[in-house]
Amino acid sequence: MKKEYGYFEDEGRAYVVTTPYPPSSFENNLFNDEYRVALNQRMEGESIRMAPNFANDKHKNGDNHFYATYNGKPYILCRGNGQSYRCEHRLYQTELTERFEDFEVSVRMFVPVKGKREIWTMKVTNLGKTQAEIGTFAAFPFAKMTMQCEARGDAQGRFIYRTGLPGYHKYDDYEKFKAQICFDYVISNIKPTSYECNRLRFFGCDYAEGMPAAVVNGKCINGSFEQDWVAPLGVTHHAFTLAAGESASVSFQIGRTATMDEMYEIADNFPNVEEELDALKALWEQRCSVLTVETPDTELNYLTNYWLKRQLAYFTRLNRGGTYCPIRNQLQDYLGFAILDPDFALERTIRILERQDFNGHIKQYYNTDGAPEWGLCLMRHSDACIWLILCTIEVVEKTGDASVYDRLVGYKDSPICESILTHLFKAARYMATQMGEHGLCLMLDGDWNDPVNGPGRKGKGESGWNSMAFSYALDRLLAIRPDEYLAGVRDRLKESINEHLWDGEWYAAGINDDGIPYGVHTDEEAQKFLNTQTWSIISGVATGERLEKVVNTIETMKSPFGYRLIDPPFTKYNPIWGRVSAKQPGTTENGSVYCHSVMFKILGDCLRGDGEDAYSTMMAMLPTNPDHDPTWTRQIPIYYSNYYFGYPSENFGYSSLHYRTGTVAWHFWVLLEYMIGFHAGATTGIEIKPCLPKAWDHVKVTRRYGGKTYVLTIENGQTELVEQ
């Protein structure tokens, strides 16, 4: 791909950004199970505490600033003002290096394996021919300012901290909030030469736009911040006298403690930075080693072997970075993550099963922190049971142990514990009661497509996607244990889909509360809905001539970036469809290339044996596609975005820059098990059924499954599977 803004290095393990000013913020998501930072190419990024319950509590603002002085001359760092600039993102760290005429400086940050903290290191090297006085300034802004807060350096100048009473209103809350007083800190391994806690005093009148007054003066004034309503920050200044060619470095830990004593403990026993970093590297090496893929497409390998694993781990371990999330997102993340870490995926899946009602129903949206329900949590979505069946089956299958289906799990509203398989059959039987007058699944307030909240708001509308996906879920469930009643439900459902949703060239999106099909050729807008075409293939509903017509219809929805979800998009509000029609044309579900739904299309391609279509569709959507590089999409090519703007306009082809998407989990599932065809399951064993493009004359996969490591080689159509 073009290298205007960056390139992969070290066999894909690193992505190097070559400018501080790319088309968008080229962020690297660094995290552990308690803490996360999205750090961009200028070393800026908010710090968020995630524990407990994915709390999403901002710890530090994102506008970090770094400066240096060389023999009294001030320099702004991380802005490309030197002779060279290089920002290197890796799975575990980001390091920015700049070279100036007389010195070189690097700024590095990582989030350790454990703890609500981050570690920074600044290193300077004297490139001059004589001894030089070099100073470093690192400014870290604290978050959540209130009039009850203060920021100070400790009496010995060993660290800077911000503390105070959180904001409160009710008189009776004082004692409760007083107990929450804690200490946000910046602690360095070397005592600062000077420090500052007041933003205005440090920056002066330019307030971060130009060279700070303190840097121009060559030192801070060791001032505290005391309730003058200027946002506090922690600035440390370190002065070094360096011989020609000599280097010096200083490291910082940023975090939170409950007491002053804990801060002194950290200052007295500052972490061994390189040991912490080595442990982090080892963790990511272990995570990446469970699956490696070699195909003729180098950058597809880079994404699969490194960056998408990190994106999926972030989703799975941190609930996509927040407390507000539908279980369909969680379950699909676990579906993909089970290929990499089946035990962890199973543990998280069981948490979801425990939210199921004894009658089989499970609610779609909830808050992980127990906060009052709001927004989508108040809606009656109809698809949760479907995802519970599909994804739980995949997670259990990836454990390699069929007895896991017999594991006992409780319910949300009952003390009774029943097997995982019983939970799934109850979900299926509950769904079998949720049928409309045409024999299709009810829509209620929305299915997979949340914004389609109009057709079923009166409780009568029926969803085409629900019906097809439930049919497929029943196929998967009945393959584990036959059930005559549910087999009958499935067969009648498929008949109803073909009787009531076929529109001559494609399948309708559904039938609204008034019994009128929508997503059909007579509609002025949104005539075609991608999901009911792709899932008619996945579910096996479309056969013969209808299958051919569906495939042809899908091709009419094609763009250079993939396939549009709705075609044509809404340009005005449509009360039948609801909220989706109020969205801007070509954005999100209203006609964008919605990457998650395009993955459904790729699975359908594989199931009908078309490796060429599957491959071309995946390559069109990949962020590394050389035909739409960051010059066009504006996105750093190390993650799948949620969507691309779908219709010709000045934004056509732009990435949404939205990191959270179900595409990633489906990438691993579809690429590994359907395109490459390395299927592994507890009840099916290992099956090799490739569906490859002709251009792939060689594929090699190393995969850990069931406590063993397997190497699959596909060479010119010949397959070989070896257990290591």
Q: Model pTM?
A: 0.96
- pLDDT value at residue 156: 80
3-state secondary structure 131-184: CEEEEEEEEEEECCCCCCEEEEECCCCCEEEEEECCCCCCHHHHHHHHCCCCEE
Containing H/E element for 619? helix 611-621
- Measured at the CA of 393, the angle between CA 547 and CA 709, to 5 degrees, comes to 105
Q: Mind listing the pLDDT tens digit for each residue in 608-653?
A: 999 999 999 999 999 999 888 898 999 999 999 999 999 878 899 9
**One of 297, 333, 383, 450 is an active-site residue; which one?**
450
Distance, CA of 577 to CA of 99 (rounded, Å): 56
Was domain 32-284 assigned CATH 2.60.120.460? no
Taking the C-alpha atoms of residue 208 and residue 325, their distance in angstroms, rounded to an integer, is 36
Every domain of the chain and the residues it spans = 32-284, 323-433
Quick one: pLDDT at residue 208?
53
Q: What is the CA radius of gyration of the chain?
A: 28
3-state secondary structure of 58: strand
Nearest residue to 447 via CA among 461, 458, 433: 461
Residue 166 preceded by cis peptide, ω within 30: no
Q: Determine the Cα angle at 321 with ends 178 and 366, to 5°.
A: 80
430, 484, 492: which is closest to 467 by C-alpha? Answer: 492
At position 8, the amino acid (one-letter code) is F
For residue 493, give both structure tokens. Answer: 């459902």
Considering the chain, what is the average pLDDT of its residues? 94
State yes or no: is 450 an active-site residue.
Answer: yes
- Lookup: tokens for 188: 């360095």
The pLDDT tens digits of the residues spanning 482-525 come to: 999 999 999 999 999 999 999 999 999 999 999 999 999 999 99
- Mean pLDDT, consecutive 10-residue stretches, the chain (724 aa), reads 83 97 97 97 95 86 94 96 97 98 98 97 98 97 78 85 83 86 93 91 73 94 73 92 98 94 94 98 98 97 98 97 92 98 98 98 93 89 97 98 98 97 98 98 94 95 98 98 98 98 98 98 97 98 98 97 96 96 95 98 98 97 90 95 90 94 98 98 97 96 97 95 95
